Each structure stands twice: as C-alpha cells, then as structure tokens.
C-alpha cells in the first residue's frame, strides 16, 4: 500500500499528509454520492469567496487568485449550466475584487488566463453532461454502475467439488468497458453448467453498452430454452436490434457436471481448445457457425466430447490471438504454447497468466474462460 502513495506527498508538512492521503477516497465518495445541486452551488460559492478572503488576510503567497480554479473544477463535476453560470459570475467578481485590491503587479495575467480557461472547460463539461440528461456527477455514477453490473453478470457460478473455472475479461487499453462478456448458469437442478463467451463488435463505450444489453438478454436465455435452441434465439434477438455493424461472435458450452459430457456450439468464434490429460496435449474442436446478427435464421451443429479427470477446456476471444499482419493460426499456436506451460503447474490462476503472457498490451478486448476437472 505504501508503494502506491506518490513520494512527493511525503514532502508535505506532517499535518497535511492525512488530508492528502484521504483526498482520493473523498473524491470517489463524492462522485458516487453527489450532493444536491443547490447545496453544491452554495458550497462552491463559499469556497470561491473564502479563497479571495484568505488571500486578503494571509497574503497572496498563501492563497493567490489562481485558487479560484478549485470551485470551477467542482462546478464542472456537480453543476448544470444555469448554476455553473452563477458560479462563474461569482468567481469573476472575486477576481475583479482581487485585481482592485492587490493590483496587476501582484495578480499576474497568466493566473487570470488559467482561471478563464478553467471556467470555459468546466462550463463545457457541465453542458455536455446536462445534454445527456445526466447532470452533475450522475453520468459518472451511471457509467460506473453499468460497468459494475456487467462485471457482476460475468461472475461464474460456484461449481460442485471436482470442478473449477476462471473467467478473465480485459478491456482494450485497460479502459472501463469491454465488448467481451460471459454469461453462465447452473441448470438441471445444479448438475449442468451452461456458459457462453461473447465478443460484441466495436470497442470502448459503444461495445460496452451493447455488451450490457446483450448480456442481460443472453443470460436470460440460459436455462430457459433447450441448449440447441440457445444460439439461434440469440441470433434472432441480435438481428432484430438492427445495429450498424451490430454483430457478435459467441461460443456456447453445455457441460454435464456428473458425467463430464459436454457440447460446444460456435457462432463465428475462435475454436475451443480441449486438453486431454491422457495424452497430455491440447486439441482444437472443429465446430463452426455463422456469427450472430448476420442473417435472421441460422442453425448450428454442436461438437460433443467428455472431460475426464485432469481435462480442461479453454474458451477465448479473438483479442487473444490476433497478431498484426499474421494469420489467426499463429496466434492460436502461441496461446496453446502458453497453455501447455500451465499443465505441470496446474490450472489455478492460469487464466490471468495466459492473458498477461499472450496479449498483455493488446489494443483489442480480451476474454477467456478456463474450465477444468481436478
């Protein structure tokens, strides 16, 4: 924990160090639980006036006029346009008072320019938030809520003894949203695992919002339909959305947790890898099918198999195997080469190791599910 604290904070006076350490968590709490706009406006006005009065009492070396950027930044986070205009008017009056009281030999033009630019940027920030219908910090709260909900939906269910599974999802550029997601459920009185790994077209927020919508819909289909009807129903749902470039690839796994028998269907997804403990080798399953959302009606042919003790299945998205200017088979060989290194170490934690070793700096979303029978 100490290593995460910027070293420059230890140069602060001892009495200010607790304030500096508490500031990040205080900002996070403020964004998640924003105050009422009227209360926020009053507080920011008092901060603006207080900054100028502090400079009048303690001197400009302790509170220069440039301190007015603080209420402006707060206004950009918490206020709508009308309230933001009032705050800017108050800040302008405070600066005018500072100029008349201290004179231009103390109030530098550069400091005034910084405050002016901050006011313009904060007002534009408030305007863009208000136009989304989510003024103040509600937009951030909604975005974080959507991100957390998508992460919760991707959590795998608790499996019975003898079975383990890991899911790893990494957004492109380590952003907050990914177009890759996992939905899963225990059906058949908890003796059958149904799981789908989906890769939605696009990246960033656009892909993230599509992934949130699809994850709710596809998650609801699990266990509600016969397994062989799942991907055709998902395809019809996606086709009805009529998104531009609105397609997705998906792989659907049905696993009997008593016998180990499994069935895999693919909708334009990279091939699933099966580790056979009796031979000590990974092999690719050959099931193929058209991506979701391309045509209204399509059928999928499953490939079946069995997971015995020590066997494993590896499901992944193309973000793990795409290499610039290279065929996908090269990326698959690299992934399976790293997967072979997991065998003598055991599969626990293998999902994270595979993603970090194969595609840590990828510019695409990455998703992986590793499931094994111990």
Residue percentage of the chain with pLDDT more than 90: 36
The more confidently predicted of residues 85 and 60 is: 85
At 204, the pLDDT band (50, 70, 90 cuts) reads: low
Q: Count other Cβ atoms within 10 Å, centred on residue 124.
A: 13
**Residue 4 predicted with pLDDT over 50:** no
User: What whole-number percentage of the chain has pLDDT above 70?
Assistant: 79
Q: How confident is the model at residue 102 (pLDDT cuts 50, 70, 90)?
A: low
Say how many C-beta atoms besides its own lie within 10 A of residue 104's C-beta. 10
Question: For residue 16, is pLDDT > 50?
Answer: no
With a cut of 80, say whether residue 29 has pLDDT above it.
no
Confidence at residue 3, expressed as pLDDT on a 0 to 100 scale = 43
Q: How confident is the model at residue 305 (pLDDT cuts 50, 70, 90)?
A: very high
* Average pLDDT over all residues of the chain: 82
Considering 27-41, 94-108, 166-180, the range whose residues carry the highest mean pLDDT is 166-180
Sign, CA dihedral 209-210-215-217, equals positive
| Residue 138 CB partners (closer than 8 Å, separation 6+) | 34, 129
Topology of the domain covering 158-373: Phosphatase 2c; domain 1 (3.60.40)
Which residue do the tokens 């269907």 mark? Answer: 265
**Which phi and psi (to 5°) does residue 330 adopt?**
-65, -45
Segment among 33-37, 126-130, 167-171 with least mean pLDDT: 33-37
CA distances from 271 to 184, 279, 301 (A): 19, 20, 13
Residue 14: per-residue pLDDT? 52
Mean pLDDT across 181-186: 92
Predicted local distance difference test score (pLDDT) of residue 201: 82
* pTM of the complete model beyond 0.75: no
Is the model more confident about 185 or about 148?
185
Q: Is the pLDDT of residue 10 over 90?
A: no
pLDDT tens-digit series, residues 207-238: 777 887 888 888 889 888 999 999 999 999 99
Could you tell me which residues are beta bridge partners of residue 281? 276
What does the alpha-carbon distance between residue 283 and residue 168 come to, in Å, rounded to a whole number? Answer: 21
The three-point CA angle 243-249-255 to 5° equals 135
Q: Where in the chain is the domain with CATH 3.60.40.10?
A: 158-373
**What integer pLDDT is reported at residue 146 of this predicted model?**
60
pLDDT computed for residue 58 by the predictor: 77
Q: Residue 143 phi/psi, 5° resolution? A: -60, -45
Reply yes or no on whether the pLDDT at 67 is more than 90: no
3-state per-residue secondary structure call for the chain? CHHHCCHHHHHCCHHHHHHHHHHHHHHHHHHHCCCCHHHHHHHHHHHHHHHHHHHHHHCCCCCCHHHHHHHHHHHHHHCCHHHHHHHHHHHHHHHHHHHHHHCCCCCCHHHHHHHHHHHHHHHHHHHHHHHCCCCCCHHHHHHHHHHHHHHHHCCCCCCCCCEEEEEEEECHHHCCCCCEEEEEEEECCCCEEEEEEEEECCCHHHHHHHHHHHHHHHHHHCCCCCHHHHHHHHHHHHHHHCCCCCCEEEEEEEEECCCCEEEEEEECCCCCEEEECCCCEEEECCCCCCCECCCCCCCCCCEEEECCCCCEEEEECHHHCCCCCCCHHHHHHHHHHHHHHHCCCCCCCHHHHHHHHHHCCCCCCEEEEEEEEC
The pLDDT-based confidence of 363 (bands split at 50, 70, 90) is: confident
**Which of the given ranges, 82-86, 136-140, 369-373, has the highest pLDDT on average?**
369-373
Within 10 Å of residue 158's Cβ, how many Cβ atoms? 9
Of the segments 15-24, 173-182, 200-209, 268-277, which one has the largest average pLDDT value?
Answer: 268-277
Output the pLDDT for position 176: 63
pLDDT value at position 175?
Answer: 65
- Residue-wise pLDDT for 232-272, tens only, equals 999 999 988 887 777 899 999 999 999 999 999 999 999 99
- Other Cβ atoms less than 10 A from the Cβ of 139: the count is 17
pLDDT top residue among 143 and 262: 262
């Amino acid at each position: 924990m100490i290593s995460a604290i910027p070293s420059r904070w230890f140069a602060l006076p001892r009495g200010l160090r607790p304030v500096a350490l508490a500031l990040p968590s205080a900002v996070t709490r403020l964004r998640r639980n924003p105050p009422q706009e009227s209360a926020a406006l009053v507080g920011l006005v008092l901060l603006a006036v207080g900054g100028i009065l502090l400079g009048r009492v303690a001197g400009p070396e302790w509170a220069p006029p440039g301190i007015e950027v603080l209420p402006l930044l707060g206004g950009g986070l918490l206020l709508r346009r009308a309230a933001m205009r009032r705050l800017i008017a108050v800040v302008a009056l405070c600066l005018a008072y500072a100029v008349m009281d201290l004179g231009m030999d103390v109030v530098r033009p550069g400091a005034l320019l910084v405050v002016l630019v901050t006011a313009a940027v904060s007002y534009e920030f408030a305007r863009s938030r208000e136009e989304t219908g989510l003024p103040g910090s509600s937009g951030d709260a909604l975005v974080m809520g959507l991100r957390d909900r998508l992460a919760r939906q991707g959590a795998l269910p608790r499996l019975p003894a003898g079975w383990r599974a890991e899911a790893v999802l990494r957004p492109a550029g380590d952003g907050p949203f990914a177009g890759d997601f996992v939905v899963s459920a225990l059906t058949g009185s908890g003796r059958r695992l149904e799981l789908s790994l989906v890769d939605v077209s696009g990246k960033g927020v656009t892909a993230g919002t599509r992934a949130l919508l699809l994850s709710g819909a596809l998650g609801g289909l699990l266990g509600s339909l016969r397994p062989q009807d799942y991907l055709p129903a998902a395809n019809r749902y996606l086709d009805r959305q009529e998104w531009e470039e609105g397609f997705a690839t998906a792989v659907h796994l049905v696993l009997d947790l008593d016998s180990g028998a499994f069935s895999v269907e693919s909708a334009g997804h990279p091939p699933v890898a099966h580790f056979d403990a009796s031979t000590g080798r990974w092999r690719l399953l050959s099931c193929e099918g058209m991506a979701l959302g391309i045509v209204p009606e399509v059928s999928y042919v499953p490939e079946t198999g069995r997971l015995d003790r020590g066997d494993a299945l590896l499901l992944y998205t193309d973000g793990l195997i795409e290499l610039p200017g290279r065929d996908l088979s090269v990326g698959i060989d690299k992934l399976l080469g790293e997967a072979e290194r997991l065998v003598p170490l055991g599969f626990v934690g293998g999902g994270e190791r595979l993603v970090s070793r194969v595609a840590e700096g990828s510019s695409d979303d990455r998703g992986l599910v590793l499931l094994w029978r111990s």
